[in-house]
Structure 1
Amino acid sequence: MTFNSSFVSKLAGWGLLVVLGLNLRPILSSISPLLGEIRQATGLSFQSSALLTSLPVVCMGLVALVGVRVEARLGERRGIALGLMMILLACLARWLMGQGSALLATALLGGAGVALIQALVPAMIKREFQQRVPVAMGVYSASLMAGGGLAALLSPLVASHFQQWQAGLGIWLLPALAAWLLWVFLPLGAARSSKVMPTFKGLRNRRAWLLALYFGLVNCGYMSLVAWLPAYYQQLGWGVLPSGSLLAFMTIFQVIAALLMPVLAQRGIDRRPLLGIALLAQTVGYLGLLLAPLELTHLWVALCGFGLGACFALSLLLTLDHHRDPRQAGQLAAFVQGIGFLINAVSPWMTGWLRELTGHFTSAWWVLTVTAVAMLMVTRVFSPATYRTAAVAG
């Protein structure tokens, strides 16, 4: 009986991790395939439209930076429950309202909900999956990316079925509601702790800043591609559904990488070889989009997806490696995500600005290519021998 209860508890833990991840990207990726209709209906410019992707990411960054206080005040259970409710309400508002200002407001609301969850999950993974941290991080990352891909694929289909683009954005209240109900009745997180946490000293630690900048730059291509890849191919003559399906195709390889690479990482402690492979895949993918976008299109998109999926999971894992204590590791991960997502928020806005300035996306893909190459060179700094000496005091 004890064995069965333990097995059910572990199964519920993995299942909740998947459900949480699935709800963290539809608020972003449902926008891109419907961007043409949204702009036509609301009159938003390219730069203003980019805010629909950038604002949630800004929220992710700002809320993550106060993640320690959030945990102290709310605890994981209430914090994650609140985050899911905010996502649900944002999606409901998108279905009911069609003004540009309302969409921007829901981007803030939904982004804050996503941020709450993302700030609390890494420490939970470090504590609840102590012997399987790389695998758990892979499952969480893969679920997160799968949710983004499903939203990119299904949102235009739902909008077409209801003959209303708002429905394609609002339908994602249903998985948010399901996740909220599961979380309330089967909470994985610990209750609020009365233990006083020491002040986080990451602001004065160079390794914390390096990890944060690295996380932001190796992952910034995801936000640009989610926001603009369909628009890029629509400019090249593709239709709404085929261009939107490219994001879903990219997600397949993100999920594969997010699952496979952390499993491989479980075998050792040096993350640099796998991060090098991931950044090389990104570089080749961006160059393909630049130099031969209509030839081997799916290969370039697959390489981008594989590289981005691996980088997200591995860069978070690299951060958690710097502390054995789950709460201290969670503090560092919150800081890294906070700064990193603020960097990510600039990426889709910059891409939209360059598109409006030049009339095409070529310059933006060049920026992403150079960034990936630069981070490939920075990767060599993260030797496991430096983890403890450079560890950030919690």
Structure 2
Amino acid sequence: MAVETVTDVDDLTDEVRRLLAERGPRAGSVTVVAVDGPSGSGKTTLAGRLGDDLDALVLHVDDMHQGWTGVLETVHLARASLVSAWAAGEPASHPTWDWDEDVAGPSRAVPGADLVVLEGVGAFAIAGDAASARVWVEAPDDERHVRAVARDGEVFERHWDEWADQERRLWAVSPGRSDADVAVDTADGPAGSAADVGGQTGNAADGSVAPQPPPLWLVVLGVVAVSLSMRTLMTSLPPLLPRIREDLGLSSVWLGVLTTLPVLCMGLLAPASARLGLRLGVARCISLAMVAISVGNLARTFSHEVPALYVGTLCAGAGIALAGTLLPGMVKASFPPGRAGLATGLQMFAMMGGAAVAAAVSVPLARTLGDWDLALGFWGLVAVVGLVLWLPVDRAVHHGGDRDQHPPDSSHRLPWRSPTAWCVAGFLAVQSWQFYSSLAWLSPTYVGHGWEAQDAGLLLSVFTGAQFVSGLVGPAVTDRVGDWRVPLVAAAVFGLVGQTGVWAAPDAAPWVWAVLLGVAQGASFAIGLVLLVRYAVSPAAAARFTAMAFLVSYTVASMGPTTMGAVRDLSGDYSSIWLVLALLMLAQLGLALLLRPGRPPVR
């Protein structure tokens, strides 16, 4: 018998209601609607709509899958713990998977419900004859592929063929399309059709205009505007440190704390920022972050009062932590795979560009405005402009529904037991220690050698500008050579030469040393971010991996500027800072050699 195909969501809901009224519950007292179909076809969105229309509990088979190769095992386990339990009138549960340990996780209890929508690959097989209605969701292969990769990223791209093969083997021996009561094609179609389920825009089923995501140009503008303020808090400070020390009488240690606070926030607040994004929405949280960055920077206008200087820095640092954790996810969710790299490049360009400009103009700005505290507060106005340019993105996202909401993963545990995760976290910790220490003390080092503060600020801008170039080139080189240790080792050698130069011969070639330092730090950090994706087995694992790596690396690195300030105070000169950093670069080189492509993945 031919399967009926519908093209309107209202028609689908009416047909499902008819089937349920005709057949009644078939799993004890529980009525089950099974929604199945290949990955990327739009099952989750469609099931969500059915759940809302029918006032039903929605269960996702994706939460039950036993790893990347366990589709058939998932069907067996879920059928026993769900359907058999319902049929027997017993409490139901479903299996989970511990991606950290790559083993089966604890069973999760299922709330009691009279009507359940079970969706996901294998839903027909799990429900079996207990399904009162079967809905098959489909779309062309190329369109499904684009959707799935846009949703789950590079990790799913690597597993796409393997997963598709499991789908074919499952439906060869279990109920599939031919066993459906109704089919829904979510390919491009007329406005108001089921194509809207697959992510198209048009008229909603009730005749109203369906919410649309913000246009890409608006997101690009917002991302660039936000990114401009992600490093100005830190790079605007070092060229002014000599004047701040003179006016406030602060020691090198306390001056180092000013650079430490934002970095410490970026580490300690990373896990909390991710959870807040899940609760409030990514776009809304970025708006709140920009408010904090604006207020914190503006508070530094009153920095002749020492508490205002430190409280403002802490407030803005918290905002940077929140935005820095969530902005990459916003970029990934808003751009198709073919443009996500470009968007990330623009984000890095804006971040490094803002950092370089802030370092270069801090001293001239202080002279123009009349004092250094006004120069620090100026960057609050830049952040306000960024907030104004971001708010249309926030409004568009929230008007468009829950586009920026990411479902919580079944496991929230960070991969503390993964040797690979610790290697990457250790590498990023050493790299970040060197970066923030260099950021804090490069300008003061040359002021100590008799340079004018403005010239020392320009030197710092060269350091940050070189990072932008190497940060773009480094990942591209990684794609070409295959073994990312090659560019990582090269970057470490460049950094070692630059640090040795500042230590042993600071006036011989200061601009060359600054370029080498910037190239080393930019490439090392950018490739480190690539490794957070390459080593992770899934998007959820990548999120946990990133939270752990940032927590470790930024927390450790936050002590760098202050510790280096203490080294300077104890030794009496700045050269000792660069000797210590050169020794740390040797440690970074050793860690880079451990990061081979074949290391065990992070789960």
Structure 1 position 79 matched with structure 2 position 285? yes
Matches within 5 A, 1:232-243: 232-243=445-456
How far the C-alpha of 1:259 sits from its partner, in A, is 1.8
- Within the candidate set 476, 487, 492, 1:279 is matched to 492
* Alpha-carbon separation, structure 2, partners of 1:383 and 1:15: 37
How far the C-alpha of 1:204 sits from its partner, in A, is 2.9
Give the SS at the match of 1:202. coil
- Within the candidate set 191, 194, 198, 2:404 is matched to 191
Q: Hey, what does 1:290 align to over in structure 2?
A: 503
Question: Tell me, which stretches of 5 or more residues in structure 1 are unaligned?
Answer: none
Distance 1:134 1:286, change over 3 A: farther
Q: Hey, what does 1:179 align to over in structure 2?
A: 386
Q: Hey, what does 1:143 align to over in structure 2?
A: 350
* Alpha-carbon separation, structure 1, partners of 2:233 and 2:562: 17
- Within the candidate set 467, 475, 479, 1:254 is matched to 467
Q: Which amino acid aligns with 1:17?
A: V
Deviations 1:1-37 (A, max 9, x none): x9xxx9x933444443332322111111111111122
* Alpha-carbon separation, structure 1, partners of 2:221 and 2:524: 23
Q: Which amino acid aligns with 1:103?
A: L
Q: Hey, what does 2:369 align to over in structure 1?
A: 162
| Residues 141 and 309 in structure 1, CA contact (< 8 A), matched pair in contact too | no
How far the C-alpha of 1:269 sits from its partner, in A, is 4.6
Higher mean alpha-carbon deviation, 97-106 vs 355-364, is at 97-106
* Alpha-carbon separation, structure 2, partners of 1:14 and 1:216: 30
Higher mean alpha-carbon deviation, 174-183 vs 189-198, is at 189-198
* Alpha-carbon separation, structure 1, partners of 2:514 and 2:334: 34
Structure 1 position 390 matched with structure 2 position 596? no
How far the C-alpha of 1:125 sits from its partner, in A, is 4.0
Distance 1:280 1:11, change over 3 A: farther
Distance 1:236 1:62, change over 3 A: same
Structure 1 position 345 matched with structure 2 position 551? no
Q: Hey, what does 2:247 align to over in structure 1?
A: 41
Q: Hey, what does 2:524 align to over in structure 1?
A: 311
* Alpha-carbon separation, structure 2, partners of 1:66 and 1:134: 26
| Residues 483 and 596 in structure 2, CA contact (< 8 A), matched pair in contact too | yes
Higher mean alpha-carbon deviation, 255-264 vs 27-36, is at 255-264
Q: RMSD of aligned C-alpha atoms?
A: 2.3
Matches within 5 A, 1:323-334: 323=536, 325-334=538-547
| Residues 159 and 168 in structure 1, CA contact (< 8 A), matched pair in contact too | yes
Q: Hey, what does 1:364 align to over in structure 2?
A: 577
Give the SS at the match of 2:215. helix
- Within the candidate set 10, 28, 36, 2:216 is matched to 10
Q: Hey, what does 1:26 align to over in structure 2?
A: 232
- Within the candidate set 351, 359, 362, 1:152 is matched to 359
Higher mean alpha-carbon deviation, 328-337 vs 188-197, is at 188-197
How far the C-alpha of 1:92 sits from its partner, in A, is 1.1
How far the C-alpha of 1:76 sits from its partner, in A, is 0.9
Give the SS at the match of 1:391. coil
How far the C-alpha of 1:55 sits from its partner, in A, is 1.1
Aligned residues: 386
Q: Which has the higher helix share?
A: 1
Question: Tell me, which stretches of 5 or more residues in structure 2 are unaligned?
Answer: 1-199, 201-211, 398-402
How far the C-alpha of 1:207 sits from its partner, in A, is 2.1
* Alpha-carbon separation, structure 1, partners of 2:416 and 2:274: 14
Higher mean alpha-carbon deviation, 280-289 vs 180-189, is at 180-189
| Residues 541 and 602 in structure 2, CA contact (< 8 A), matched pair in contact too | no
- Within the candidate set 74, 98, 105, 2:304 is matched to 98
Higher mean alpha-carbon deviation, 321-330 vs 101-110, is at 321-330
How far the C-alpha of 1:116 sits from its partner, in A, is 0.5
Q: Hey, what does 2:422 align to over in structure 1?
A: 209
Q: Hey, what does 1:301 align to over in structure 2?
A: 514
* Alpha-carbon separation, structure 2, partners of 1:87 and 1:197: 33
How far the C-alpha of 1:317 sits from its partner, in A, is 1.1
Give the SS at the match of 1:171. helix
Normalising to structure 2: TM-score of the pair? 0.60
How far the C-alpha of 1:141 sits from its partner, in A, is 3.0
* Alpha-carbon separation, structure 2, partners of 1:330 and 1:133: 17
* Alpha-carbon separation, structure 1, partners of 2:439 and 2:593: 28
The structure with more radius of gyration: 2
Distance 1:47 1:169, change over 3 A: same
Q: Which amino acid aligns with 1:80?
A: I
Q: Which has the higher strand share?
A: 2
Deviations 1:283-319 (A, max 9, x none): 1110110111001110011100111111111111111
How far the C-alpha of 1:173 sits from its partner, in A, is 1.3
| Residues 47 and 352 in structure 1, CA contact (< 8 A), matched pair in contact too | yes
Q: Which amino acid aligns with 2:322?
A: L
How far the C-alpha of 1:209 sits from its partner, in A, is 2.2
* Alpha-carbon separation, structure 2, partners of 1:28 and 1:321: 29
Give the SS at the match of 2:304. coil
Identity score, percent: 30
Q: Which amino acid aligns with 1:288?
A: G
